[in-house]
Amino acid sequence: MPSLLTLKRSDAFLSARGLNKSVTLPREVFWRAGERKPVMRNIDLTLYPGERVGLVGLSGSGKTTLLRSLLAIEAPDSGSITCQDKTVCPASTAKLRWYRQAVQYIPQDPASSLDPRMSVRALVAEPLIRLRVECNPDERAVEALEQVGLGTAFLKRKPHELSGGQAQRVAIARAIATRPRFLLADEPLSGLDLPVRTQVINVLRTLCEDRGTGILMVSHDLSVVTRLCQRTLVMDDGRIVEDRPTAELWRAPGHYITRDLISAVSQLPTCVYPSCNAAEVDALL
């Protein structure tokens, strides 16, 4: 990937401009409408081909709402999203098949997103069939599983026969089967223990480096982001308050939320996160 300093907005793969979104809070009394709370405030975001970007912030900062907007699942109240100069939002969902193939989603909890009635083969092949991708779905499913370190022995298994790490790998295989240009991941490591997290991070890094696939990974844990992402965005109260290279952000955080996130990582026992100081993070990037 080119240096972040040499990239121009015209090189962008995915761009969001002026995104705003508010939600209605539960009403305190039944005769009065609930108040409106902004969850995205005039967000501008540019993602470049092949880059690995982290999106961090405290709970309620707007991370998931932004991700859902970029996935064209939830429309913002105002603003626009474009992918390679094609309009994603506002646009009709029925006209976004090309976008669903180019941008794929890795869920937070694969156990709840994988249909328990379907085999691994059917789960991985399903997006290829739904999106009418011109390929042999079975062959592509085997290819995707091999790329995440699962062999043909898993093809006939059902989700309940998989460990947490295996289920997350199946979810990643399902996402990469369409050969997308970009992956959008929502807390993909939150339910995994440390050794399995490391394995999944290595899978994602290898996929991105070997295939030139970009990734935007949402997390509340900055230590996870440092292991994978070259650039990190920090959200607070619906705004992006920092957008900098990850190593630079770690060494010299500019916003108090960033300092709080780094402090939270640094206070964890080293047996939980062995790499949680600036020197070790630099070595990881």
Question: What's the confidence (pLDDT) of residue 230?
Answer: 92
Please tell me the predicted confidence (pLDDT) of residue 8.
Answer: 54
Buried-exposed string 136-160: b where 16+ CB fall within 10 A, e elsewhere: ebeebbbbbbebbbbeeebbebebe
- pTM score, two decimals? 0.83
Q: 75-112 pLDDT, tens per residue?
A: 899 999 999 889 998 777 678 889 999 999 998 887 77
pLDDT, tens digit, 9 for 90 and up, residues 141-172: 999 999 888 888 899 999 899 888 888 889 99
What number is the average pLDDT over the span 258-266? Answer: 83
- CA-based nearest residue to 175, from 167, 184, 186: 184
Mean pLDDT of the chain: 84
Across the range 227-240, mean pLDDT stands at: 93
Which are the contacts of 246, defined by CB distance < 8 A and separation ≥ 6?
Answer: 54, 225, 226, 229, 230, 231, 232, 281, 285
Average pLDDT over residues 21-40: 79
Of 191, 214, 189, 237, the closest CA to residue 84 belongs to 214
Complete domains list, the chain, with CATH: 9-284 (3.40.50.300)
Q: At residue 277, does pLDDT exceed 60?
A: no
- Give residue 71's pLDDT band: very low, low, confident or very high (50, 70, 90): very high
Percent of the chain with pLDDT over 70: 86
Per-residue pLDDT at 5: 44
* pLDDT tens track for 202-220: 888 988 888 899 999 998 8
| pLDDT score of 70 more than 50 | yes
Higher pLDDT, 55 or 265: 55
Question: How sure is the predictor about 276, in pLDDT bands with cuts at 50, 70 and 90?
Answer: very low
Mean pLDDT of 125-137: 92
- pLDDT of 197 above 90: no
The answer to whether residue 2 scores a pLDDT higher than 50 is: no
Q: In this structure, which amino acid lies at residue 212?
A: G
Query: At residue 48, does pLDDT exceed 50?
Result: yes
Q: What is the pLDDT of residue 270?
A: 41
pLDDT at residue 175 is higher than 80: yes
Q: How much is the average pLDDT of 108-123? A: 87
For residues 35-52, average pLDDT: 92
What are φ and ψ of residue 64, in 5° steps? Answer: -65, -35
